[in-house]
Structure 1
Amino acid sequence: MDIVIIENQFTQTVEAVSKVTGWAVDRKIILAIASTYVATGKVFDGEKYKNVVEEMKKRTSWMSPLRTSIGYSLAANMMEQDDTEQAIKTLLNNEKILKEANFKRGNFSFIGAQFLTENESEKRAHAQTARALYEAIRKYHRFLTSFDDIPYTVLLSSPNDDVVLRAETMNRYYKELRTYQFGAGNELQWLSQILTFLSADYDSNLVASVATIRDYLKKQDVKVKYMHYPLLGFLAILQLNNGQLQQIADLYHDLKGMKLLKWHREFVLFMAVQIIIYDLSKVQQSLTMAIMSSIELLIQAQQAMMLSAVTAAAVASNSSTS
């Protein structure tokens, strides 16, 4: 991969996004949007983006979370749809259904709204199941489970899901990961949730795989922070081999030298993983059938996970300075 080309694309995209968002949006959100476009090889259309943002504002009140940084981020996803106006309507309707299922409205309910089923007749059932999963998770981790778990409960549930089994499996992964010296907290909970992406049934190989991936990356001098824990889950699900992990490590060290990321090094690993996962999706022979059938959703989930992590960090930062 040509790091010069990647850096030029990233710089141009950051500038294009910044022109529309101005100073109203957290820098981390702008970098998250730009990194996703660079990873997927798509060209950012500033004019279309501006139109989506304006349309979103027309359809929301002044107090809506979509008027904040999260709206600008979700607008980047909306503009990838053929019918952007319908995409916005669907997002708003999905979030309304989640609110009816007793999810609190906020940044994370809108992120989660992206993952509500497309089947109109099953949307409310899906929302209710997601809420049931949220409560089941909360029984195991009452103080950890909060608004930032909403996207995962929607992503990982379905109208006919066995939420009791899934929550039990998540807790089992959480406890086992602790024995591998993973730090307790929200990020570990998100990792344990991601490990149920393909199945609610316990997989005895997954936790050891996550630990192996972490240790491999660390040996390559990759800084794996708490906020990167969920990334390790995606890599374990993808069953990457050492050669592919080495690609991530090499790209990580190349990206680390980019000027725009000098004060935002936490994005480097996110970007490296995004780029490699997207490349894998184009060469699907290297993936299992189960992953091949879910690769598009897996990529979307990884992007949403980065957005959730960035949003949580931004919220925490704002709280500490207020």
Structure 2
Amino acid sequence: MLTQSIRERLALFKEIYAELYTELKWKCDKRSLMLIAAMYVTNSKEFQLHRFLELADYIKNEVGLFSHLRTAHRFTVAATLETTTDTPKEHFAHFSTIYQKLIDNGYSRAVYSYIAAGTLLKIEPHKVEEYAQKTVDLYKGMREHHPFLTNSGDYPLASILATLDKNKEDILLHVEEHYHALKQKGFTIGNDLQFLSHILALNEEQKPDESAQKCVEVKTLLEKAKFKSKKMYYPYIGMLSYLEQVESEMNHLVAIYEDLNNDRLFKWNKDVNFMLSVLFLMSDKALLTEAATTGLNTTIEVLLQAQQAAMTASMTAAVAANNANNGG
């Protein structure tokens, strides 16, 4: 059963998506449009199609000929700027500075570097160099621990972890403790597990074995609710583990998921629908300002930002794979 607030947000999501799809169906992947629509809804930001398109065009005109921001990714960046700042055009210069600092410190010129820059938009200008260096140092530390798992898709979570008020060594240790605790609980090793350990490390207070046990319980509840047990769902298990009463929220999660699956516009994107269902459920908790966390020391806003970054990264990878398979 859907709560009134979730029902209203789902309706708004579909309304924004329909506008985006009508205008951009030949320019942007459907999954990316779903994410963009969700970003406006979960951040409680008003969407105006004309303003959004104008900003996307502005971004395209401000970058070099070979920039990733001349592609469809400019639409995701435009949404990021609009949903996280009050002056998106002015903040694009700040965004570009952050991106360049990440490149200067060792990131590659990949789409994921832009996603990482978007997560650092609220960093004050005089602290950009510090956080860019810390971000890249964290990423390099991750690569040292897991050289075959870590790739540019991990850029965004490294930047979010860099905002924690802890030094690099303590953050990396905390991530590794979570990774090994989850492995001991039977989670399959791989990049998805590493992503999950990053999500759990945002909670600076909870002990790794307790977090891992909570994730086992969430995984079991999802399987009982007939959700498939997929490794790609691991980060979202981590999101749900922050809820205090996960079992009581399962009916809401299922209701959101079924609502999206039963809509002809979304029924072919069940994995995205699951990700969005978790995002809508978590954002509803933020909207209600409930303390629905297990000793969470960071804000639910950061958790939502982490999920949006994770989704953007996974959508980017999916679209790139699709284009490669189609010879695009």
TM-score by length of 2: 0.89
Which residue identity does 1:108 align to in structure 2? Y
Task: Report if the CA contact (8 A) 2:266-2:273 is conserved.
Answer: yes
Structure 1 range deviating more: 293-302 or 305-314: 293-302
- CA 288–264 in structure 1, closer or farther in 2 if over 3 Å, else same: closer
Corresponding position: 1:64 with 2:67: yes
* Structure 2, unpaired ranges of 5+: none
Task: Report if the CA contact (8 A) 1:247-1:276 is conserved.
Answer: yes
What does 1:72-221 correspond to in 2, within 5 Å? 72-80=75-83, 81-116=85-120, 118-158=123-163, 161-199=166-204, 202-221=207-226
- Tell me how far apart the structure 1 counterparts of residues 82 and 25 of structure 2 sit (CA, whole Å): 19
- Tell me how far apart the structure 2 counterparts of residues 200 and 142 of structure 1 sit (CA, whole Å): 27
- Deviation of 1:315 after TM superposition, in Å, equals 1.9
- Deviation of 1:31 after TM superposition, in Å, equals 1.6
Task: Report if the CA contact (8 A) 1:40-1:275 is conserved.
Answer: no
- Deviation of 1:156 after TM superposition, in Å, equals 0.4
Which residue identity does 2:54 align to in structure 1? N
Give CA-to-partner distance per residue, 1:255-289, whole Å, 9 cap, x none. 22121122111122122112211211122243359
- Tell me how far apart the structure 1 counterparts of residues 139 and 73 of structure 2 sit (CA, whole Å): 22
- Tell me how far apart the structure 1 counterparts of residues 149 and 191 of structure 2 sit (CA, whole Å): 6
Task: Report if the CA contact (8 A) 2:40-2:79 is conserved.
Answer: no
- CA 40–260 in structure 1, closer or farther in 2 if over 3 Å, else same: farther
- Tell me how far apart the structure 1 counterparts of residues 301 and 164 of structure 2 sit (CA, whole Å): 20
Corresponding position: 1:319 with 2:324: yes
Task: Report if the CA contact (8 A) 2:178-2:201 is conserved.
Answer: no
TM-score by length of 1: 0.90
Give CA-to-partner distance per residue, 1:40-74, whole Å, 9 cap, x none. 55542101101110110121012111122222111
Give CA-to-partner distance per residue, 1:242-266, whole Å, 9 cap, x none. 2123321232233221211221111
Task: Report if the CA contact (8 A) 2:199-2:306 is conserved.
Answer: no
Structure 1 range deviating more: 1-10 or 101-110: 1-10
- Tell me how far apart the structure 1 counterparts of residues 295 and 280 of structure 2 sit (CA, whole Å): 21
* Structure 1, unpaired ranges of 5+: none
- Tell me how far apart the structure 2 counterparts of residues 164 and 258 of structure 1 sit (CA, whole Å): 46
Structure 1 range deviating more: 261-270 or 33-42: 33-42
User: Paired residue for 2:53, among 40, 50, 55?
Assistant: 50
Give CA-to-partner distance per residue, 1:91-137, whole Å, 9 cap, x none. 11110111111111111000000222522222111111111111111
- Deviation of 1:35 after TM superposition, in Å, equals 3.0
- Deviation of 1:184 after TM superposition, in Å, equals 2.4
Which residue identity does 1:256 align to in structure 2? N
- Tell me how far apart the structure 2 counterparts of residues 216 and 246 of structure 1 sit (CA, whole Å): 11
Which residue identity does 1:45 align to in structure 2? Q
Residue in 2 that maps onto 1:34: 37
- Tell me how far apart the structure 2 counterparts of residues 162 and 5 of structure 1 sit (CA, whole Å): 41
- SS in structure 2 at match of 1:204: helix
Count of aligned residue pairs for this structure pair:
322
Percent of residue pairs identical: 25
Residue in 2 that maps onto 1:277: 282
- Deviation of 1:6 after TM superposition, in Å, equals 5.9
- CA 112–186 in structure 1, closer or farther in 2 if over 3 Å, else same: same
Give CA-to-partner distance per residue, 1:203-223, whole Å, 9 cap, x none. 321011111101101101123
Task: Report if the CA contact (8 A) 1:91-1:113 is conserved.
Answer: yes
Task: Report if the CA contact (8 A) 1:238-1:287 is conserved.
Answer: yes
- Tell me how far apart the structure 1 counterparts of residues 256 and 164 of structure 2 sit (CA, whole Å): 39
Task: Report if the CA contact (8 A) 1:115-1:154 is conserved.
Answer: yes
Which residue identity does 1:163 align to in structure 2? K
Task: Report if the CA contact (8 A) 1:261-1:268 is conserved.
Answer: yes
- Tell me how far apart the structure 1 counterparts of residues 140 and 234 of structure 2 sit (CA, whole Å): 23
Q: C-alpha root-mean-square deviation of aligned residues, in Å?
A: 2.5
Which residue identity does 2:111 align to in structure 1? N
